Amino acid sequence: MESTVLLIDMQSFYASIEKALRPELQHRPLVVSGDPERRSGVILAACPLAKSYGIQNAITLREAEERCPHLIVVRPRMSLYLQTSLRITEILGQFSDRVEPYSIDEQFISISGCQTLFGSPMETARKIQQEIAIQLGLYARIGVGPNKVLSKMACDHFAKKNESGLFELTKDKLETHLWPLPVEKMFGVGKRMGRHLRRMGIATIGDLARCPLARLRKRWGVNGYVLWMTANGIDLSPVHPDTFQKQKAIGHQMTLPRDYHTTEEIGVVLLELCEEVCRRARRQRQVGWTVSVGCRGADFNFPSGFHRQRTMPEATNHTMTVFSHARELFTRFWDGQPIRSIGVSLSQLSADRPMQLSLFENNDQQHRLGHVMDEINQRFGPTAILRAASLTRAGQALERSQKIGGHHR
């Protein structure tokens, strides 16, 4: 039985949700943007009408308003967007039990074996598109292919440009549709990789598909093999609901509301980040061997910052242990210049049981204490227990407890 995978992508997801709830704004240029007073004033989503003014995601709100003075600006409501994404998952579940969320506005669904119920792949895609429009008032673009990578590229390069919002990219269309595209358009190839490929004389996806596999493997090893497979439309990864359950790392990054200048105030935020990362690790019953710290400087004209990691003597999810290593990393590599963002992550994850015993540390007590604190915060709210440092001017825990993903709920 031939495999068939659909990639469902919601057009201007956040902006479309806001317009669906406020019909009077249907014919007005609308964007969803963060708060410029807290350095989150960038465009998160722009409706098609706003995009016609040259407004794109990630530009600043100020720049967007210069391009369109009568722009409607809506603050993000992340809880609403997450709930809507889950609703879409439920709708897709009516067509197949193999649904894999790829991002908040993109989901894969395998419809192999469903033809007798819903018709051909394109007919099924059209029914899904109509069902989402009827139930949520949102417009979905859908790419159809024999695997995930082809359905993704079918959506990104063809369905989004079709009036119907649908496109099927089969193996027999590779040479006529996919291969003429610039190599940078291929899934998995960014600007940097594109430059490397062009230096090798590979300018299109077709050039990459026809390139001798041995040459690519000699240059990039396994990654070269993956590039060649993708260019030839080969993807063996299945659609599975639990694909993203096995995380390789747990991390948290924060854009600061102002420039932070001293190790004391940076240390407060670093501790809060370690607390959040370790809380999430404990919730998933994971410990990590490697802690990573990264930051970005405040001066855009002279970019600065770093990303460094170290392996700890033993795997842990204890906040103060991770913080101790993170602080040492930061102190060692920070150039002393003001920073505007900072992040911490825990990787090389493994199950937190069995636990390595120590002659010098009471690991079991620390482990139980962390879980007790988590349980209190879960029952009474994320700020039921706070470290005293979070109550200082540098602390961000109280402010961020009211947000999801750095934006208001």
Q: Which are the catalytic amino acids?
A: 106
Q: What token pair was written down for 54?
A: 């040259």
The dihedrals phi and psi of 391, each to the nearest 5 degrees, come to: -90, -5
Q: At what angle do helices 363-380 and 263-283 cross, to 10 degrees?
A: 90
Q: Is 374 annotated as a binding residue?
A: no
In 287-362, where does DSSP find H-type helix?
A: 319-333
Q: Degrees (nearest 5) of the Cα angle 12, 15, 18?
A: 140
Q: What token pair was written down for 94?
A: 């009516």
What span, in angstroms and rounded, lies between the C-alpha atoms of 247 and 280?
11
Return the biggest CA–CA distance within the chain.
Answer: 69
Question: How far out from the chain centre does Cα 244 lie?
Answer: 11
The candidate with the shortest Cα–Cα distance to 277, out of 314, 335, 316, is 316
SS3 call for 85 = helix
Q: Where are the beta strands (DSSP E) in 132-226?
A: 140-145, 166-168
Question: How far out from the chain centre does Cα 143 lie?
Answer: 20
**8 A C-beta contact, residue 257 and residue 39:** yes
**Residues belonging to the chain:** 409
Residue with tokens 């990654």: 223
Q: At what angle do helices 78-92 and 13-21 cross, to 10 degrees?
A: 100
Buried-exposed string 191-211: b where 16+ CB fall within 10 A, e elsewhere: eebbeebeeeebebbbbbbeb
Q: What token pair was written down for 273?
A: 């980040």
Long-range contacts of 219-227 (CB under 8 A, 24+ apart): 226/188, 227/186, 227/188, 227/189
Cα distances from 395 to residues 260, 261, 266, 399, in angstroms, run 11, 14, 9, 8
Q: Is 105 annotated as a binding residue?
A: yes
Binding site residues for Mg(2+), as ranges? 9, 105
